[in-house]
């Protein structure tokens, strides 16, 4: 779309006004309301490959991919067919289906640290249940998480969380009793001394350390060298469990997730997003000895009416089996596309003289409007969010939809092309030029 042709959002604005009377903020998940970037959020009506269309007929190149699941692009034909086929046989049974075993086999084969897993309907449920299991299996109450990591919206995990919690600058959430928050020790990411100090202070009381092994929810923040291995060593020594929340990174940064990429095996893993192929799905897994503590075998209760839903399983199997079959091409392609766009835009910013820090691991990246390197939450929040908001708006006006917050990672899919990348870099050049002129 030429820059001169101003995007019309009449229908979306109308839909937003209606939604605001029906849903708080007009949304079912806060960041969708565009409060951090301003402007009326486009209402999505269709997606195909790397593109989205809104209710006014505007087309966008999609860089958030439903926040991660759409790694093969929108309406990928094998996924659509799998969902249609499953739906024709009934959307739900509330009884066991063969497809749960099929997806479980695929996941367990890809993640050697997992011997058994349980499916749930969201990433939130996966991490919440993993924490309960970790506490039961260690008979300890405290948990360690990291500032800026987001593990869904269960009470104890919202303390100093990332994603929307970081976007709106709230320290946690109202409605979480202090008595619950008390058991969550929130430490700076990438700081192994803070972890040592917490274990020294609470010796024998810490059930687990949970983290996003590559953080996506304060923007993309990779682990520093040997950080994950150090966490592995400390948790082993202290007999606490190490939980990798790979809801975002699983099947994204590598087929076997961050644990394959960095060669560090956690005790427990949580998954979501990609394993549901765009349908509601999550999972948590570990070695059998831990997982067999779940009901009906053990004393830890966990259940779900729609857990292992046949449509979600079908979409997950179609997605994961495609990734498995084309593993080498898929991850090489995602790496090449993502490197090209992340570095291309960074180079334009450098040429113009704007401070931009680019963090990237595979098809997961963030352009921070920050002068310093971003290694934790403290450095992430030095970003100039007002400038990010203007950049976001300028990109959207050129038909490129980035995640609507400085503190969310961007994603690419196998449906993106090098032409899309070239178009993005040229749009970013214009957008950044505009910002530079304004700030001068």
By beta-carbon proximity to ligand PLP, the closer residue of 210 and 318 is 210
Which of 148, 216, 266, 404 touches ligand PLP by CB under 6 A?
A: 216
Min dist CB 337 to ligand PLP, Å, is 21
Q: Does 248 bind ligand PLP (CB under 6 A)?
A: yes
Binding mask 135-164 for ligand PLP (x = CB under 6 A): ---------------xxx------------
The piece of 5-13, 212-220, 234-242, 290-298 that touches ligand PLP (CB under 6 A) is: 212-220
Which of 12, 124, 338, 387 touches ligand PLP by CB under 6 A?
A: 124
Fill in the DSSP letter of residue 426: H
Min dist CB 56 to ligand PLP, Å, is 27
Which of 217, 359, 366, 424 touches ligand PLP by CB under 6 A?
A: 217
Annotation marks residue 324 as catalytic? no
Which of 122, 190, 319, 359 touches ligand PLP by CB under 6 A?
A: 122
Burial of 165 from C-beta contacts in 10 A (0-12 / 13-18 / 19+): buried
- Picking from 178, 171, 185, the residue whose alpha carbon sits closest to that of residue 143 is 185
3-state helix, strand, coil in the chain (%, to 5): 45, 15, 40
Decide: 122 and 282 in contact? Cβ < 8 Å.
yes
Rounded Cα distance between 78 and 125, Å, is 27
- Site size for ligand PLP, by CB under 6 A? 15
What string of DSSP letters covers 25-64?
GG-SSGGGG-TTT-SPPPPEEEEEBTEEEETTS-EEEESS
Q: Which residue has the tokens 């320290």?
A: 171
Runs of H (alpha helix) within 308-417: 310-325, 327-352, 377-380, 385-397
The one catalytic residue among 273, 376, 397, 407: 273
Q: Does 212 bind ligand PLP (CB under 6 A)?
A: yes
Decide: 320 and 106 in contact? Cβ < 8 Å.
yes
Rounded Cα distance between 21 and 297, Å, is 46
Min dist CB 326 to ligand PLP, Å, is 24
The one catalytic residue among 54, 62, 245, 376: 245
Catalytic residues, by residue number, are: 150, 245, 273
The residues that touch ligand PLP, with contacts defined as CB under 6 A, are 122-124, 127, 150-152, 212, 216-217, 245, 247-248, 272, 282
């Amino acid at each position: 779309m030429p820059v001169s042709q101003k995007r019309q959002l009449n229908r979306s604005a109308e839909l937003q006004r209606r939604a605001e009377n029906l849903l708080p903020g007009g949304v079912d998940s806060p960041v969708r309301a565009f409060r951090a970037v301003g402007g009326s959020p486009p209402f999505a009506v269709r997606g195909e490959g790397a593109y989205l269309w809104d209710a006014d007929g505007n087309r966008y190149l999609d860089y958030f991919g439903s926040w991660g699941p759409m790694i093969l692009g929108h309406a990928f034909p094998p996924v659509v067919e799998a969902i249609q086929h499953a739906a024709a046989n009934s959307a739900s049974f509330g009884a066991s289906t063969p497809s749960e075993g099929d997806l479980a086999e695929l996941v367990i084969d890809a993640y050697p640290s997992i011997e058994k897993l349980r499916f749930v309907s969201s990433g939130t449920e996966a991490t919440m249940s993993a924490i309960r299991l970790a506490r039961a299996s260690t008979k300890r109450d405290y948990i360690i998480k990291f500032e800026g990591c987001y593990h869904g919206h269960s009470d104890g995990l919202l303390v100093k969380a990332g994603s929307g919690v970081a976007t709106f600058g709230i320290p946690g959430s109202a409605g979480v009793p202090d008595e619950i928050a008390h058991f969550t020790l929130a430490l700076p990411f990438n700081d192994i001394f803070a972890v040592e100090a917490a274990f020294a202070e609470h010796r024998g009381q810490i059930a687990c350390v949970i983290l996003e092994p590559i953080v996506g929810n304060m923007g993309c923040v990779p682990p520093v060298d040997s950080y994950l291995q150090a966490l592995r060593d400390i948790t082993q020594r202290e007999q606490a469990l190490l939980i990798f929340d790979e809801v975002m990174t699983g099947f994204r940064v590598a087929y076997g997730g961050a644990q394959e990429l960095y060669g560090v095996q956690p005790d427990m893993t949580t998954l979501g997003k990609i394993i549901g192929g765009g349908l509601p799905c999550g999972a948590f897994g570990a070695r059998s000895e831990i997982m067999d503590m779940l009901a009906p075998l053990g004393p830890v209760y966990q259940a779900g009416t729609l857990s292992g839903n046949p449509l979600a399983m079908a979409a997950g199997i179609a997605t994961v089996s495609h990734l498995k079959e084309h593993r080498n091409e898929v991850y090489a392609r995602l790496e090449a596309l993502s490197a090209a766009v992340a570095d291309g835009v960074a180079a334009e910013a450098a040429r113009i003289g704007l401070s931009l820090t680019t963090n990237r691991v595979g098809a997961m990246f963030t352009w921070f409007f920050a002068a310093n390197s971003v290694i934790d939450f403290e450095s992430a929040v030095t970003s100039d969010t007002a400038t990010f908001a203007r950049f976001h708006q300028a990109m959207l006006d050129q038909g490129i939809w980035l995640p609507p917050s400085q503190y969310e990672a961007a994603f690419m899919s196998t449906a993106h092309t090098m032409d899309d990348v070239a178009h993005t870099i040229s749009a970013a050049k214009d957008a950044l030029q505009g910002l530079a002129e304004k700030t001068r």
